């Protein structure tokens, strides 16, 4: 397979993981975002990728990282993040291993950076957004939301994002890449969403201590048993992305 755009790579990932657009839109029925995260994680693990969730990585430090081994690559995502953010991190890191580029990611976008590393991060963001939000589906949902709201309000963004089980910021990134929004709006809303989150955290205070379920915690952190799959070797050796 020749070089793909991020759009084509996103579609290739969905086909490889056997997650159809119709299935993706069913994730919106779970407002917590856990159903989508579980489905995507299971599909990636079934393909032969080891996935771990870490509770020890500070949120400000990283959202995840990937080690792009030729066989049984490894993805680690930050368990402290909300499920929708973890989902985007998961697909971002999966893009890393598909590109055979190990890396540590915080998912922040800085238009001033021009390093090769920043370029890879931007590509992985674009691929993750394309995989999670099929363009035909998002166009339909966006059209319906705009018919109700009249413009791309926060409510419209939140409504469409929920339909795909992704965060508002991930949905905005997808709209930018699809030419339905611009970077100025993206960075304006990114700053707004961050301020909202920090304000909510300050009001909520520390979360109450919950009764621990060690077997479930172990599964969440360590994942299910996984063995190398020929499917992964085939995919990683046939997909390259040019963008």
Count other Cβ atoms within 10 Å, centred on residue 69: 16
| pLDDT surpasses 50 at 2 | no
Q: What is the pLDDT of residues 77-97, one digit of tens each?
A: 988 888 999 999 999 999 998
Which among 243, 239, 241, 242 is positioned nearest to 1, based on CA atoms?
Answer: 239
Cα gap 25→62, rounded to integer Å: 28
109 Cβ neighbours under 8 A, 6+ residues apart: 121, 122, 125, 173, 186, 187, 190
Task: Say what the pLDDT of residue 48 is.
Answer: 87
Task: Say what the pLDDT of residue 231 is.
Answer: 52
Q: Provide the mean pLDDT of the chain.
A: 79
Task: Say what the pLDDT of residue 223 is.
Answer: 56
Q: Is 182 left (phi over 0), alpha (psi -120 to 50) or beta?
A: beta
Among the residue ranges 8-12, 102-106, 115-119, 217-221, the one predicted with the least confidence is 217-221
| pLDDT surpasses 60 at 211 | no
- Tell me which range, 36-45, 95-104, 199-208, is most confidently predicted by mean pLDDT: 36-45
Among the residue ranges 42-46, 74-78, 237-241, the one predicted with the least confidence is 237-241
Q: What is the pLDDT of residues 178-192, one digit of tens each?
A: 888 899 999 999 889
Task: Render 137-168 in DSSP notation, one character per residue.
Answer: HHHHHHHHHHHHHSS--HHHHHHHHHHHT--H
| pLDDT surpasses 60 at 103 | yes
| pLDDT surpasses 70 at 119 | yes
């Amino acid at each position: 397979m020749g070089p793909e755009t991020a759009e084509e790579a996103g579609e290739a990932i969905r086909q490889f993981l056997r997650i159809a657009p119709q299935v993706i839109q069913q994730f919106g029925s779970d407002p917590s975002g856990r159903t989508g995260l579980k489905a995507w994680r299971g599909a990636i693990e079934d393909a032969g990728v080891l996935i771990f969730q870490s509770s020890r990585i500070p949120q400000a430090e990283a959202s995840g990282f990937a080690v792009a081994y030729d066989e049984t690559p490894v993805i680690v995502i930050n368990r402290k993040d909300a499920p929708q953010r973890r989902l985007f991190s998961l697909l971002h890191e999966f893009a890393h291993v598909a590109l055979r580029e190990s890396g540590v990611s915080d998912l922040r976008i800085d238009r001033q950076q021009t390093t090769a590393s920043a370029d890879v991060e931007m590509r992985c963001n674009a691929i993750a957004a394309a995989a999670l939000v099929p363009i035909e589906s998002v166009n339909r949902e966006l059209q319906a939301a705009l018919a109700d709201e009249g413009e791309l309000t926060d409510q419209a963004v939140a409504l469409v994002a929920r339909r795909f089980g992704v965060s508002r910021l991930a949905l905005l990134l997808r709209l930018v890449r699809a030419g339905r929004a611009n970077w100025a709006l993206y960075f304006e809303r990114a700053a707004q969403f961050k301020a909202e989150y920090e304000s909510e955290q300050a009001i909520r205070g520390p979360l109450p201590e919950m009764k621990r379920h060690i077997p479930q915690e172990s599964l969440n952190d360590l994942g299910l048993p996984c063995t190398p799959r020929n499917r992964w070797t085939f995919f990683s050796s046939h997909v390259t992305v040019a963008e």
